[in-house]
Amino acid sequence: MPLPIIEPFRIKSVEPIRQTSREERGRALADAHYNPFYLAARDVLIDLLTDSGCAAMSSRQWAALMNGDESYAGAESYYRLREVVDRLTGHPHLIPTHQGRAAEKILFQLLGGDGHAFVSNTFFDTTRANIEYSGAVAIDRCTSEADDLVSDYPFKGNLDIEGADAAIREHGSVRAIVMTVTNNSRGGQPVSLANLRAARALADAHRIPLILDACRFAENAWFIKTREPGQADRAPREIAREMFDLVDGATFSGKKDALANMGGFLTVRDEGLADAARTLLTITEGFPTYGGMSGRDLEAMAAGLDEVLDDDYLRYRIASIRWVADGFARHGVPIVQPAGGHAVYVDATRWLDHIPPHRLPGQSLVNGLYERYGIRTVETGTVMFGKRDPETGELIPAARDLVRFAVPRRAYTQTHMEYVVEAMGELGAVRQELPGYRPTRLPQYLPHFTAHFEPCAPAAIPAPAP
């Protein structure tokens, strides 16, 4: 029997977490309008809401904070980050931002606007919101293999090249192709190097830029190394560099694959676009050498970008997510297969088949899991991505309500994740007791962050059609 893959680090500092009762959590959930985004973190036992900005930083990163140069302009910390990003991407222009969505806002405010569109393998929530807020249209064209949640197809995050080509021709004013790696909206699934090359050729054919939404580039590089023919002998750093070599620019959240608690950047090749981006950055974020970040943030991100491409770390990271996915499957919980790089996605529509789609089975699972076990997760379905009826404003159910269990990097132990797996096993035995939900407040943009809900009495939930 092979030895297990272990965490490639030791724990040097710990943070206490508070135990609460089910009654306490029930009151907290009601006070939060049945939206876990409103919960106080102190009331959460294990927090899998997101993997963004909640990594445990390394001793090297904490030491790097002491080198933070807080000069307003031209800080040494900026030049250290620029050196790391230059080696990683080869892109000549670096625009630092306080997080990834700030980079998205700058890029799509400059390229977007009424009458324009962008095509992607799938846009995630903030990316889509920034595009639509500019007046442009966000068009998803993911490979059809992603529709089969249980197949073992290795690159379900790929762009549908033919579908994207047709969308570009049909719309007439597509401003860029955006490749999201990994594909968060479709289960954290990776994109192959072959697909990135095909997207490059498509962008060249239409004379439009190819942009990388690179939040989880290192995890995607590991999947290329381990799943794509001909890539096994290459280092993740070499694969990552080829990914960046294929694109004209990138948006990046340092809160994911830079293992940092804050930070991000935009990189571009075009000098004119870079000048315009720096002007907008100065208006909205800060001077071009700090972009809304402290020198300490710049240092932590620079150190993390080196650490994240370590083979031992990536092997452990992907294996730890796969372990949770296997545990869920063992308990009969339907999930997106194969496991992605940062999260496990549960098919709540299938698991809670007594709750009709318009009563939000994903939100039901999220709330039931928190109330009973103190675990916070997030719905990635009708609430996050569902469209609205143009006349009534009512949510149109998504094809699937998924619930994402996003695992913060280096933050939880094997025992924590065993608790999560067993909690899902126990919840499965009583899942028919979970109620549906209806929204009582639903903002136009990014509604999942600030929506309010109320539970529906079981009698108000119509039985599924025979």
DSSP 7-27: -SS------------HHHHHH
Contact yes or no for 264/253 (Cβ under 8 A)? yes
Neighbouring CB atoms inside 10 A of 101's CB total 20
pTM for the model: 0.94
Residue 462 DSSP label: P
For residues 268 and 249, the answer to whether their CB atoms sit within 8 Å is yes
DSSP 90-109: --SEEEEESSHHHHHHHHHH
Tell me how far apart the alpha carbons of residues 386 and 398 are, in angstroms, rounded to a whole number.
Answer: 5
> What domains sit in the chain, N to C, each tagged with a CATH number?
22-51+310-460 (3.90.1150.10), 59-307 (3.40.640.10)
> What is the bridge-based pairing of β-strands 375-376 and 117-120?
unpaired
Query: Is 160:144 a contact under the CB 8 Å cutoff?
Result: yes
Spatial separation of the C-alpha atoms in residues 46 and 23, rounded to whole Å = 17
Q: For residue 202, give every residue at least 6 positions away whose Cβ sits within 8 Å of its Cβ, in sequence order, or none.
A: 161, 164, 165, 168, 177
> Can you tell me the distance from the alpha carbon of 412 to that of 197, in angstroms, rounded to the nearest whole number?
36
Alpha carbons 180 and 216: distance in angstroms, whole number:
9
Distance CA 120, CA 164 (A): 8
DSSP letter assigned to residue 135? T
| Distances, alpha carbon 325 to alpha carbons 7, 85, 216, 318, 347, in Å | 17, 33, 19, 11, 12
Cα separation, 32 vs 18, in Å, equals 18
> Which residue's structure tokens are 């980079």?
103
Q: Burial, 298: exposed, middle or buried (Cβ in 10 Å; 0-12, 13-18, 19+)?
A: buried
Is residue 161 packed enough to be buried (19+ CB in 10 Å), middle (13-18) or exposed (0-12)?
middle
pLDDT string in tens for the chain (466-residue length): 788 899 999 999 999 999 999 999 999 999 999 999 999 999 999 999 999 999 999 999 999 999 999 999 999 999 999 999 999 999 999 999 999 999 999 999 999 999 999 999 999 888 999 999 999 999 999 999 999 999 999 999 999 999 999 999 999 999 999 999 999 989 999 999 999 999 999 999 999 999 999 999 999 999 999 999 999 999 999 999 999 999 999 999 999 999 999 999 999 999 999 999 999 999 999 999 999 999 999 999 999 999 999 999 999 999 999 999 999 999 999 999 999 999 999 999 999 999 999 999 999 999 999 999 999 999 999 988 877 777 777 888 888 999 999 999 999 999 999 999 999 999 999 999 999 999 999 888 888 889 999 999 654 555 444 4
The pLDDT of residue 444: 80
Helices (H) and strands (E) in the chain, counts: 17, 16
Residue 280 CB coordination number (10 Å) = 15
Residue with structure tokens 């250290």? 80
Structure tokens at 214: 């690179």
Distance CA 319, CA 315 (A): 6
Q: What is the SS3 assignment for 428?
A: helix
H/E run at residue 130 = helix 125-133
Of the chain, the end-to-end C-alpha distance in Å amounts to 48
Gyration radius from the chain CA atoms: 22
What is the rounded distance in angstroms from the CA atom of residue 275 to the CA atom of residue 165? 30
Which amino acid would we find at residue 321?
I
Q: Is the peptide bond before 361 cis (omega within 30 degrees of 0)?
A: no
